[in-house]
Amino acid sequence: MINDYVIYSCNECHLLFTDYDTKEESASINREWYSDAYILNYQKKAQELKKRFVQKVHELEILKRGGSLLDLGCGVGLFLESLSETARYKWKLYGLDINEKLIDKAEGRLRGKAQKLFLGKVASLNLKVETFDCITCFDVLEHDHELKLTLREIRRLLKSSGLLLIQAPNYSSVMAYLCGERWDWWAVPDHVFHFNPDSLSLVLQKEGFRVRKLYTWDPREEFISNIRGSIKSRLKSNNYIGRIVSKCSYIPLLFLWGLLNVIEKKFNIGSLIVIFAEV
């Protein structure tokens, strides 16, 4: 039970999913939750997020040297902008999001750098089969209550040997273990599905994808702030002690983050999963 929502587990693949009263509830959450305050906060972090996306561009271009790319859940367009600015190869860029405010912000940011930005779900676009060389999903699939349908449509839209790049939270991470039910990236009811590396790999394989590369990683500030926040929450009966313990924990958590950077890719215990999969 997380925030009064029941989390169920598939006995076969260990995929976790949030229980909803109706599909309409889960479908409406991500269209409506992204307020102006959320968008402003996202834009304030733009430079740091773009640094992370640049790294993903480099990794992507090792496996795919240009072509047509669709960014699902493109948000305010930071990944597409990063790709347009730093790519070594030629790309035709497309984006999609279900949130109209985010699409408006992306159009303003990209200013013609993308061929087209779509509003809606990928399954409702009615695009031709084998349209794209690459499809990216950064922190998107955990929101999608029609996960299998979306993956099947992604597979239909990818060309032969097309590449799918996914990033998603890892509930088997050290961060999730230390935070418990206070882990920010449970994010219920916003997050419908909850993955670990094995469950996400199995879901992809069942839908006809072959995993080319998989690793996990931890963004430093999110790792430290998430765990410090969980400490303060546990000690909320004494806010003064909670603040002191939280402040004193910064250096040990920074050391732990550095240690995890060394070992997490081997053991897949980082808080974010990154998968490159091929059709």
- Each residue's pLDDT tens digit, 43-83: 788 899 999 999 999 999 999 999 999 999 999 999 999 99
Query: Would you say residue 165 lies in a domain?
Result: yes
Distance in angstroms (rounded) separating the CA atoms of residues 166 and 276: 7
Whole-prediction pTM value? 0.93
Residue 88, in any domain of the structure: yes
pLDDT at 52: 96
The residue range of the domain holding 77 is 7-218+264-278
204: Cβ contacts below 8 Å, ≥ 6 apart: 151, 164, 166, 211, 275, 277
Q: What is the pLDDT of residues 212-261, one digit of tens each?
A: 999 999 999 999 999 998 888 887 756 667 677 777 889 999 999 999 99
64: in domain: yes
Q: What is the percent of the chain with per-residue pLDDT over 70, rounded to a whole number? A: 92
Share of the chain above pLDDT 90, in %: 74
With respect to residue 72, please indicate whether it lies within any of the assigned structural domains. yes
Q: Is the pLDDT of residue 270 over 60?
A: yes
Is 175 domain-assigned?
Answer: yes
CA atoms within 13 A on the CB side of 255: 4
Give the distance from CA 127 to its chain's centroid: 24
Residues 6+ apart with CB under 8 A from 190: 29, 30, 33, 143
Residue 200 resides in a domain: yes
Work out how many domains the chain is built from and give that number. 1
Average pLDDT of the segment spanning 161-178: 97
Average pLDDT, the chain: 91
Q: Is residue 257 part of a domain?
A: no
Summarize the confidence of residues 84-95 as an average pLDDT. Answer: 98
What is residue 242's predicted lDDT score, i.e. its pLDDT?
Answer: 64
Per-residue model confidence (pLDDT) at position 29: 56
Q: How remote is the C-alpha of 164 from its chain's centroid?
A: 13
3-state percent breakdown (helix, strand, coil) of the chain, nearest 5: 50, 25, 30
Supply the pLDDT for residue 238.
63
Average pLDDT in the 257-275 region? 94
Residue 183 belongs to some domain of the structure: yes
Of the candidates 18, 15, 275, 10, which has an alpha carbon nearest to the alpha carbon of residue 154? 275
15-52 pLDDT per residue, tens: 999 987 655 555 555 555 566 777 887 778 889 999 99
CATH number of 195's domain = 3.40.50.150
Q: Which residues of 121-251 form beta strands (DSSP E)?
A: 132-138, 158-169, 193-194, 210-217
At residue 191, what is the residue type? Answer: H
> If you average pLDDT over residues 200-212, what whole number do you get?
97
